[in-house]
Chain A
Amino acid sequence: MNQFLFVVVPYLCLTTFVVGHLWRYRYDKFGWTTRSSQLYENRLLRIGSPLFHFGMLGVVGGHVIGLLVPQSWTDALGISEHTYHVVAVVGGLVAGVMTVVGMAILIYRRRTTGPVFSTTTNMDKVMYAFLGVVIVLGMWNTIAGSIMTVGGEYNYREGVSVWFRSFLAFHPDPNLMADAPVGFQLHALVAFGLFALWPFTRLVHVFSAPLGYLTRPYIVYRSRDDDQLGSHQPRPGWDRVG
């Protein structure tokens, strides 16, 4: 069972994530967008969206540090377990609260603003459910697990993180995950579900973060595509000669 939950399922989800993105990019560049609804409603979005997104950037950053940096490295830097714990919890709480509040505003907006709700696809709703559950479970782990220590103390950096790195190294050790509190198990599983859904939702816009904008020239010049004048591909038999 552990083998299935913490080895098979994650790898299936990861494969879907990678292959799905390749497929989506290959076949649906036109649909690759944030599908902004700012035109319909601006007041709530102005507050909710930056809160959520900047909170999310903090959350992702925290996960990268927590999951990918081994405890031995921070130990070697002389950062004590207690210091690390305090920084992680405080940072996690700030980012987490921003994310949750932002998400609450955005979901409220999506549900109550008529035009926004009517452009919400079924895929959006499923995605919101998964994303919401992942975030709530993550907050639970931070607050209940790390602050109030419900169900005993647990150092995820000796369990979940090690498992995650072994997973990325294609040498997974499911027992590490099996020993983790159920909150962490669920958080990881639902997150992998979200990863599997990712390429088929509007979340693909994450991979369009326009960092290239910082370095490209302001004005882009492009030559007309010589193989294709107008907006159609030439039909078979009308291809260019020479």
Chain B
Amino acid sequence: MKVMAQMAMVMNLDKCIGCHTCSVTCKQAWTNRSGTEYVWFNNVETRPGLGYPRTYEDQEKWQGGWVLNNRGRLKLRAGGRFKKLLTIFSNPKLPSIGEYYEPWTYDYATLTEAPAQEHIPVARPKSLISGKNMKIEWSANWDDDLGGSTANAHRDPMLKKIADKVRFEFEQTFMFYLPRICEHCLNPSCAAACPSGAIYKREEDGIVLVDQDKCRGWRMCVSGCPYKKIYFNHRTGKAEKCTFCFPRIEVGLPTVCSETCVGRLRYIGLMLYDADKVLEAASTNDDQGLYEAQRDVFLDPSDPEVVREAEKAGIARDWIDAAQRSPIYALINTYKVALPLHPEYRTMPMVWYIPPLSPVVDVVAETGEDAEDTGNLFAAIDALRIPVEYLAELFTAGDVGPVDAVLKKLAAMRCYMRDINMGRDPDGSIPEAVGMTEEDMYDMYRLLAIAKYDERYVIPPAHAEQAHSLEELATECSVSEYGGGQHDLFGEGSGAPTPIAVENFQMLQDRQTSESLAGPEHKGSRVNLLNWDGKGSQPGLFPPQGDDS
């Protein structure tokens, strides 16, 4: 047994209202730089829908993730090491910018600088890639709220797997949102596909990161990741991905997407797992067995033997404590209501989802029946096969059993808690019908409905003794006038100080002196507050400092 700790997330889809706050705050924090205009480390998709990038789930087309070969061994779907090297000069499976979307801005100057005239001036969209006028035809959430689904939804790869005849009925009755970040997989195929070995999994907390100094821009990770959550920065020529906000996690703060989630639907915590069993579990023969196989890889942090092994593996005591209190463990293994996204990709993803019950409740409510009656809800879950089958395509490789079980637990919880809230005697037969005790059901209700900040996010900080150098605490002298701190910490110049080198010097200088839209003509006259995060000062916000200051 080799115990390792993994920082993991669970999202309760029942609570997602599709407000995109997570996406926006994530973008402000991480990808508001040129080169990453089209990049959303966190995005929210309406399902059914094509997703972002378009049809990324169609692995016949994109060849992401792992498959079993004839001998039952795991191999990258896009081909082995030799094939990767032979196709290195032109990646055959790289989504074009059109599959994401061509990022754009507007020519706002025509609005602010237009003279008084009869007709209202119009700001035309300009491509951030070519700088030319463009027609906006797609974006990261173009089919939001099923917009345009009559034209597009039939291309949803998951919907294609369900019989054609029910498609339109389905669209009328069922819709939900799916927020996605990097899955920080236990068996990441992006890392396996990287020729340079630049993508690594951190031993301490399992966060998957790209070493920007080692990445050589071969782009194989973009193809390798079946979730298409690695992006190519077209300015720097390097791959970038969701970092699980590691500077925040290291000081015990939740990720930006979780912190700002309006519905409080995200949970973060530790999972202990047996690293020796990962490969075997990922090689499970049956696609539908992968969900159970992955659950078997997780270790019970309360088991004394696991604790002993964890301590032997050098996991700190406070981390083991945190693993014992982990809401993720409770949702995945105790209550068994969280399911992995596309286990059939065999990457062992670590961002799990509680499938949504609300659409089923809505359908029952529309019929005029009591939508919180156990019998009605159970019958509805059984009757609404199409939504359940669709969810099963997402979360259990098509096996409706586990999805049924989860939805019934959620339905039972509603009915059971309604009795309590109405002041009636709780009905013990309801939890029993889904194989739970009354106490468990109440605890699950607490965790899903009213868990406070420190119950939803159980994040042991790393190395408290080094807290002063952790980014989020920033106890260092940040006053640049005294020679300390970091100049231009965020925004364009974020990250470690970039050394001046022949090649990127030219690039940086061009960007600074460019007359394109990203760098407007009269710099002094325009202040871009959109990508200002409140720290440091934005160019043009204050008059330039004199040399003598």
Contact = CB atoms under 8 A, between A and B. Distances in A.
B195 interface: yes
Contacts of B191: 218-220
A220 B199 contact: yes
Contact of B94 (A42, A118, A200, A220): A42
A61 to B, nearest CB: 16
B503 A123 contact: yes
Contacts of A115: 129-130
A235 interface: yes
B90 A224 contact: no
Interface size class of B (residues with CB under 8 A): 35 or more
A34 B195 CA distance: 13
Interface residues of A, number: 59
B499 interface: yes
A219 B191 CA distance: 6
A97 B46 CA distance: 50
A231 B97 contact: no
Interface stretch (B105-113, B335-343, B467-475): B467-475
B499 A231 contact: no
A223 B315 CA distance: 13
Contacts of B213: 29-30, 32
B487 to A, nearest CB: 12
Contacts of B466: 229, 240
A230 to B, nearest CB: 3
Nearest to A29: B213
Contacts of A234: 468-469, 476
A121 B507 contact: yes
Interface in B100-158: 129-132
Contacts of A72: none
Contacts of A54: 89
Given A115-B130, A212-B197, A223-B203, A122 B506 contact: yes
Contacts of A222: 200-203
Interface string B218-238: 110000000000001011111
A22 to B, nearest CB: 13
B200 A208 contact: no
Nearest to A31: B504
Contacts of A49: 89-90
B503 A28 contact: yes
Chain A interface secondary structure, helix, strand, loop or mixed?
A: loop
A54 B90 CA distance: 11
Given A34-B237, A53-B89, A235-B484, A224 B196 contact: no
Contacts of B218: 34, 36, 210
Contacts of B476: 234-235, 238
B1 interface: no
B501 A39 contact: no
A216 B84 CA distance: 14
Interface string A18-49: 00000010011111111111111010011001
Given A24-B501, A27-B499, A36-B237, A230 B201 contact: no
B463 interface: yes
A214 interface: yes
Interface string A191-229: 000000000111001001011111010111111101011
Contacts of B91: 38
22 contacts: A24-B501, A30-B236, A33-B215, A36-B217, A40-B234, A42-B94, A46-B90, A114-B130, A200-B503, A202-B503, A210-B195, A211-B85, A220-B199, A221-B201, A222-B203, A224-B202, A229-B247, A229-B462, A230-B250, A230-B472, A238-B476, A240-B466
Interface of A: 24, 27-40, 42, 45-46, 49-50, 52-54, 114-115, 118-119, 121-123, 200-202, 205, 208, 210-214, 216, 218-224, 226, 228-235, 238, 240
